[in-house]
Every structure is written in structure tokens, then in C-alpha cells.
Amino acid sequence: MTLFDTARQDLTELLPKKRVDLVKDFSKRYFVNDVATPEPESILHLRQHFLAIMLIGLSQGYNFLRGDIFVELMDLNFTSGTSILTQYLMGNYSLSGQEALTQTNTLKFVMKYGPEFISRMPYHEIVKLLNGMHKSPAWRAIWHEDEVTDSDRPYLGKLELRVIGYMLMIMFFGDFPVTSSTYLDRFMVGEKPGNFVELRAAAAKVLLESNLEVVSGNRVNKIAMLFYAVISVLETLGQTATIFMDTQLENINLDAFSYMMHNRMQIKSIRTFDSKFCPAIIVYSEMRAPVNQILTENQNVTSVKWVSELQTIENFRRIFDAYRDSSLQFLEKLVGGIDS
């Protein structure tokens, strides 16, 4: 699946101009989902990039060999057929009709069900897909919502779709897809957790209970790591945010604020800052070198200036607002943006 590297090179860096024009034309003609709202430019560019990478792979003798999953499992209808693209592949890459059809269907599969695209499907298809997944008690057990707020819920729905996209790519290609979201990825490719055996059993149950294809043991292992990533993310939603107070503010008593937040925030000294805490907030009174360094090196950290002229409760409110904003920004990055 590393063929579909989502690095954002310009198409002219990948293909000669004539091929670039073909990629743009084929992408708009064949790979735009039949939805009422226009697709963002970022999604259109991503579709073009995926098609360009496939053409590069074909020129180097790399082609997809399997096509049965489309008939057995997934509906691939887009707004148009792909006969012209299929004929183009046959004429320019020495492919048989069936080989060319497999390439176009594979690309359709990725551009419809891949993590970056799956939430763009028509609503009735999303409902059908989710209903199929929700037949599995093992799948529903993963998505506990004990700590989910109303503002989190739309993101959680998109995250569930994104995870289904990850799972389908693993089933088909045997590996994790390369995506624009790195937060899930860091869990999936890390060390196996202590409960890996239970997660593996859950992965096998989900495939069976939701009538998805039974896949090889290695692919089940990867789906288990995907479930580990999902559970870790959901736990993050319910975890306390970490507030790192600059040394100049350590004498401020924040016990009342922590109590008001029902222990949703923990207070630490900036001396103990660690990038593993997410979401994290730096509270400072002056933009000193240590504060600036942390903010420069950690894009996921939010900063709040403590304004001594304001009442303490007003500074508390500003910290809380930053906490909610940082949580939502974290979710937006996780699912690729609520409007993407």
C-alpha cells in the first residue's frame, strides 16, 4: 500500500505534462463520488495523486493482481464507468482487458473506501455500510462513548468511517495504508500491547460477525493493532488534559479550577513537559525561551497567556476555552477535518 504515498508533490514532479492533463481529466470523470456537495480541492488533488502513482507503478511493471473483492464485498459504482480509462491502460501499458479492469477497479476501491475518501460516500451507502458493521457486537464494543461530548460526536462518527477504511485496505492490500493522519499510525506500527491476544480475537470476531472476508493471520494481526489505535484514541478523549504552568506561575493555586473541571485537567510544571501528553496546554505570563521552544517544536500544544490584570476566574475561563479548542483541533487532525 506504500504505492499510495499521500505526500503532496505537485503532479508535474511525477509525470510529464501530457500525462498530468490525462490524470486530471480521468480523476474528475471517474473518481468523484456522487454526492450533492462539491469535493474540497484537497480531496480532488489526492485523487489525482493516487491515479498518478498508479500510472507510475504500471510503467515500472507493478500492477494489481486481484479483483474478486469488488464483486463479493464492495459496491464500486461511481458517477461514470471507466471504459475509456481501461482502454487507455490496455493501449499504453500492455495489459489485457481483465488486467486493465482490475487496475481501474482497484483504484475505485481505494478512492471510495480508503480512509481519506470513505466519508465522502453518498449518505445511503454510509448507512448501509455502518449497519453492516454494527451487526457485530465485537465492533460495537470498541466504540464505547462514556467520555464523548456532544461536540465530539460528529468527529467520532467520521473516525468510525475512517477506521473502516483502514480495515478494508488492510484486508485487501495486507498492510496499513499511508494517510495524511499520523496519530492513528503511531499506535498501529508501535509495539504490541499487553492485551494483543484479546484484540486479535476481537478482530477475528468483527470480520466474522459483520460478514466481511476472513483474511490471513498477519492481516488479522494488523487489524488488531488498528483496534488498539482506536481504543487508545477513545481513551484520549476521556483523559485529563495536561496544563503545563510556566515557572513564573507555579505559585498560583489551581486546585479550585481542577475541581471545577471534574478532574478533566491535570496541572504540571513546565519543567516536566513531555510531548506524549495530548492535548496539552502551556500557560505562561511572558514568552520566554523555554516556552517558545516547546511551542515551536510541538504543533499540537496550545498556549494561553495568563493576564495578571484579569480576575483569576476569567483566566480559568480562557484556559478552559483553549482546552476545548485543542481537543476539537486534535479530532479534526485525526479525521482529516470535519468538512473534508
12 vs 59, residue with greater confidence: 59
Inform me whether the pLDDT recorded for 69 exceeds 60: no
133 vs 108, residue with greater confidence: 133
Q: Where are the domains of the chain?
A: 11-113, 123-238, 241-335
pLDDT score, position 335: 59
Determine the average pLDDT of the residues in 90-106.
Answer: 90
Inform me whether the pLDDT recorded for 206 exceeds 90: yes
Determine the average pLDDT of the residues in 53-73.
Answer: 76
Cα 265 versus chain centre, distance: 26
Inform me whether the pLDDT recorded for 340 exceeds 50: no
Q: Which three cell numbers stand for residue 79?
A: 458517477
Share of the chain above pLDDT 90, in %: 13
Inform me whether the pLDDT recorded for 220 exceeds 90: yes
0.85 surpassed by pTM: no
Q: What is the pLDDT of residues 17-62, one digit of tens each?
A: 888 898 988 888 777 765 566 777 878 888 888 888 889 889 998 8
Q: What is the pLDDT of residues 149-191, one digit of tens each?
A: 666 677 788 889 989 998 988 888 887 765 655 567 777 777 8
- DSSP-derived letter for residue 134 is T
Largest CA distance in the chain: 75
CA-to-CA distance for 117 and 149, rounded, in angstroms?
Answer: 25
- DSSP-derived letter for residue 148 is -
Q: Is 266 helix (H, G, I), strand (E, B) or coil?
A: strand
